[in-house]
Amino acid sequence: MASESFNPFKMAQQQFDAVAEKLGLDQATRDFLRTPCREYHFNIPIRMDDGSYKVYRGFRVQHSDARGPAKGGIRFHPQETIDTVKALAMWMTWKTAVVDIPLGGGKGGVICDPHNLSMREQEAICRGWVRQIARNVGPLQDVPAPDVMTTGQHMLWMLDEYETITGFKSPGFITGKPIGMGGSLARPEATGYGAIFTLREALKEKGIDIGKTTASFQGFGNVSQFAIDLYTQYGGKAIAVSSWDQKEQKSFTFRRKSGIDMKELLGITNRFGEIDRIKAVELGFEVLPGEDWIDQEVDILVPAALENQVNAQTAPQIHSSVKFIVEGANGPTTPEADEIIKKKNIWMIPDFLANAGGVTCSYFEQVQCNMNFFWTKEEVLTRLDNKMTEAYHATSELAQKRNVYMRDAAYMISISRVAEAVKMRGWV
Ligand code: GLU
């Protein structure tokens, strides 16, 4: 989230500018790609359950549609800001480009806290969001999806409102829909599993047996839950995970050195990914301060919460045992922290590569909706694995060939692809 000292959009621009310079990109293309093509800000008036009225602020940013319709999630968060949404939209452009799917980058958000809203009020916000933006989104323009604190249910309400307005069934308008309602099997797993597919490849490349590794995770939302699931299925040992506590308004780290089992932990977790501290102690977990996920003696760190978590203050605390960082979240690491990580010689699998599994599966969801024919879970996961593996190796090869940081290599691939589309269309 943006604050006085941290602005994610400035960070996204800083990352872009550095690589644009390396690529020798011309000025017009730089000017075009360092800002969003379009951004919408609007009011969403809602009648609350108690009969009062409240006005929520909504956004949709379309950073780029050069390679296809804009694509990206919608976040519900009390600290949402337009600059966060702009940064996330830009990162979506690089994400769809690095896995080479025919989509652009967008993002949306509403400043609200679903913790304090009934389901009916949340439904009203979803429908209100669509009413404000229906003319400017759609299967051929801009396709939303779930993100922080939004789910398949929210997507379905949004789809229903869109179809009511247009008068047509348009399942390709939105992705991350529930199974049986136009959703794809394996979409819930896709982001977390995708991140672990890239980690698996990185470990293979470095000749490390995943079964002998340990990992610490930040966050216990959708991405982290499935990342832990697949990582442990592969034989890795997850020893720590942090999770937000709404009542305390801070996070805690749950550590069990004998290992974490995702399903067991899910049994004591609410729908927002908050782990019950008392029950965790009963299951043999130590409850530590939230920030302790980062200084654990492990091989792998997986920041899978929000942006600005690995920064100039926290990066020096990374234990000398850490060899890999897999960014499940969007923008968790600041450019200052990147410098520290480079010095520590840690292999970075950057966000828009590591967490591209979600949007890749969203693309498969659109394809299946267009065919009106749905694949088996195995088929979805095999295709996802192939895409992630291919994108990982293309990035890693470039990083090694040009001797650049993995984040820069991923940026070089994505920016080149988008810049080429912009040029070929004759835009700049
Ligand atoms: N919100 C997810 C992301 O940040 C998924 C986006 C999508 O499926 O369009 O990648």
The 10s digit of each residue's pLDDT in 24-65 is: 999 999 999 999 999 999 999 999 999 999 999 999 999 999
Question: Could you tell me the distance, in angstroms and rounded to a whole number, from the CA of residue 60 to the centre of ligand 1?
Answer: 14
Q: For residue 271, is pLDDT > 90?
A: no
DSSP assigned state of 426: T
Contacts with 34 (C-beta within 8 Å, 6 or more apart), sequence order: 13, 16, 17, 20
* Ligand 1 pocket mutation, candidates 62, 92, 306, 352, criterion most atoms within 8 A of CB: 92
Asked if 235 and 213 count as a contact pair (C-beta separation under 8 A), the reply is: no
Q: What is the pLDDT of residue 77?
A: 96
Ligand 1 geometric centre to CA of 344 (Å): 30
pLDDT grade, residue 5 (50/70/90)?
A: confident
Structural tokens at position 176 = 């991350």
Q: Are strands 70-77 and 286-289 parallel, antiparallel or unpaired?
A: unpaired
**With 80 as the cut, is the pLDDT of residue 3 above it?**
no
Closest to 188 measured CA to CA, from 377, 422, 36: 377
Q: How far is CA 25 from CA 62, 95, 234, in A?
A: 22, 19, 41
Write out pLDDT tens, residues 155-196. Answer: 999 999 999 999 999 999 999 999 999 999 999 999 999 999
pLDDT recorded at residue 252? 98
The band of 4, judged by pLDDT with boundaries at 50, 70 and 90, is low
Q: Rounded to an integer, what distance in angstroms lies between the CA atom of residue 44 and that of residue 247?
A: 27
pLDDT score of 286: 98
Question: 288 C-alpha to center of ligand 1: Å?
Answer: 31
pLDDT per position as a tens digit, 308-353: 999 999 999 999 999 999 999 999 999 999 999 999 999 999 999 9
The sheet that has 286-289: what strands, in order across it? 286-289, 250-255, 237-245, 214-218, 300-303, 324-326, 347-349
pLDDT at 393: 98
Domain ranges in the chain? 38-180, 184-428
Sequence-ordered list of residues with C-beta below 8 angstroms from that of 329, at least 6 positions apart, any chain: 218, 219, 223, 303, 304, 305, 306, 307, 309, 351, 355
Distance CA 72, CA 191 (A): 13
Class of the domain covering 38-180: alpha beta
Q: Quick one: CA dihedral 320, 326, 328, 333, positive or negative?
A: positive
- DSSP 8-state symbol, 31: H
pLDDT band at 416 (very low <50, low <70, confident <90, very high): very high
Q: Which residue type is seen at 284?
A: G
Instruction: Say yes or no to pLDDT of 131 above 80.
Output: yes
CATH code of the domain made up of 184-428: 3.40.50.720
pLDDT tens sequence across 86-113: 999 999 999 999 999 999 999 999 999 9
Please indicate whether the domains covering 38-180 and 184-428 agree at the CATH topology level: yes
d(CA 242, CA 195): 18
Residue 5 or residue 197, greater confidence: 197
Q: Are strands 214-218 and 142-146 parallel, antiparallel or unpaired?
A: unpaired
**Which region holds residue 182: left if phi is over 0, alpha if psi is between -120 and 50, else beta?**
left
Mutate to test the pocket of ligand 1, among 150, 191, 193, 366 (most ligand atoms within 8 A of CB): 191
For ligand 1, is residue 175 a contact (CB within 6 Å)?
Answer: yes
| CB 362 less than 6 A from any atom of ligand 1 | yes
Which are the catalytic amino acids? 107
Q: What pLDDT, on a 0 to 100 scale, did the predictor assign at position 283?
A: 96
* Alpha helices (H) in 184-261, listed in sequence order: 187-205, 222-233
> In the chain, what percentage of residues exceed pLDDT 90?
98
